[in-house]
Structure 1
Amino acid sequence: MPFDPARVTTVTFDSYSTIVDVEAAEEALADRVPDPEPVSRLWRSRSLAYTFIANAVDAYKPFYEMNRDALQYALDAHGVALSTDERDEILAVYHELDVFDDVREGMNRLYDAGYDLYVVSNGNPEMLASMLDHAGIGGLVEDTVSADEIRTFKPDAELYRHAAARTGTPIDEIAHVSAAYFDVYGAMHAGMQGVWVDRDGGPWDSFAGEPDLTISSFHDLREKLV
């Protein structure tokens, strides 16, 4: 369905890979792991896989715990032995990930234009509070909506419906912005308009259709909503 800016009153944003750069976690591994890139990538992919499995078999745990399990698996898979304290020091980087350059100005323009802004994330509330603080966007965001509130992860439609209820917005008046293809699909399936952030110019996963809108940065979104 073509993007319909006239319907949008609220904009929700994913957190990790959309507002903050999870690839920055590789830096936390660099002092302890000989080849940090594959460990970092396996860590991230495993943490996402755990959320999908948890939804399917009703095995919810807070995302921080799943992320810890995924990090341990990635270290084990690459033969890296670290103490619990060292592992937890690496894991703590999720509280201070680098914010993408376009985020603050892009969100500020939407805020000034009168849109209500929210974060909808798999992250648990403590993670999201520290992310907003570190990213410097707490004053722009009305609130955060965590998967922890209903104990189910993206792309379950129930999380997006819960987010709509929490924002007090009809679900078809929400544009959900994410760099993750499965998150965009989940939002669209639930009734939101899906906006894919393609900062790297990569291919879209088109097995289930196209996003309602594709943008290359947060700067583009204000123009698309005019």
Structure 2
Amino acid sequence: MTLTLAFDIYGTLIDTRGVETTLTGMVGSDAAAVSRTWRDKQLEYAFRRGLMGRYQPFSECTRQALDFALAFHQHSLQADQRQQLLDCYQHLPAFTDALPALHSLQAEGYQLWAFSNGQATAVDTLLVNAGLRDCFAGIVSVDDVHSFKPDPKVYAHFLARTNAEAATTWLVSSNPFDVIGARSAGWQAAWIQRSAAVVFDPWELAPSQTLSALTELAAALKR
């Protein structure tokens, strides 16, 4: 039985905290707080737009979330500085466990796909810059269906695009909402708990596997 593996990108393979270096030069000691607010609002705006049926690409959610984060933390930046921060999203670093984990999974013969809220072109550029693009058969973006995870039609779209079956498809994500969405859609899902401080939502839909690093996934899939 060949498993299809759908990898979330932002926060799972790619470290969104990579913006903090550039932020530090602009907002000083508030960089970590601004980064957290930016990421939280980015996801919140995607959720809200999905529910309201007022879709805008993830890049627009990212831009608006940055504007909110700067205002919330009382920082005013020039337009070119804001654009510099947005451009960072094309050059975010991969987590150190990402490439070795993907290589080991490729060696096992699994089908690996990138599965993201981001537009396909943006994700492609990001993965190329992070040195991960060659690990994937392709990229599936929610942009094709104008909604966001965890909308059920997003997971159905992935299956249609990859000719996969729900029962043999695994989502790999560090985002609990994404794991719950996949489990609700009938998939298996591995939650990558990148910090012991992160708590999984106490819902009736639990991860199939909870792992502390991507490098544990190959062994977990054999269990």
TM bucket (normalised to shorter chain) is over 0.9
1:29 aligns with 2:23: yes
Mapped to 2, the partners of 1:219 and 1:184 lie a distance apart of 18
Aligned residue among 115, 127, 136 for 1:132: 127
Q: Give the SS at the match of 1:111.
A: helix
Alignment check: 8 A CA contact 1:194 1:213 kept: yes
Distance 2:44 2:132 in 1: 29
Match of 1:99 in 2: 94
RMSD: 1.2
Deviation at 1:209, TM superposition (A): 3.4
Higher helix share: 2
Q: Distance in 2 between matches of 1:168 and 1:187?
A: 16
1:9 corresponds to 2:3: yes
Shift of 1:126: 2.2
Distance in 1 between residues matched to 2:204 and 2:128, nearest whole Å: 36
- Percent identity reads 35
CA distance in 1, matches of 2:48, 2:204: 20
Residue 205 of structure 1: which of 198, 201, 210 is its match? 201
Which residue does the alignment assign to 2:158? Answer: 163
Q: CA deviation at 1:26?
A: 1.6
Aligned to 1:221: 217
**Retained in 1: the 8 A contact 2:183–2:205?**
no
Secondary structure, aligned partner of 2:204: coil
The one-letter code of the counterpart of 1:99 is A
1:186 is aligned, of 181, 189, 192, to: 181
Distance in 2, Cα, partners of 1:162 & 1:207: 24
Whichever residue aligns with residue 130 of structure 2, its letter is: A
Cα offsets for 1:23-69 (capped at 9, x unmatched):
12122211111311111111111111101110111111000111001
Provide the secondary structure at the position in 1 that maps to 2:19: helix
Q: Report deviation, 1:206.
A: 1.8
Aligned pairs, how many?
Answer: 220
Question: Which residue in the other structure is 1:61 paired with?
Answer: 56
Equivalent position amino acid for 2:209 in 1:
L
Query: Does the Cα contact within 8 Å between 1:8 and 1:175 map onto a contact in 2?
Result: no
Q: What TM-score do the two structures reach when normalised by structure 2?
A: 0.95
Q: TM-score, normalised by structure 1?
A: 0.94
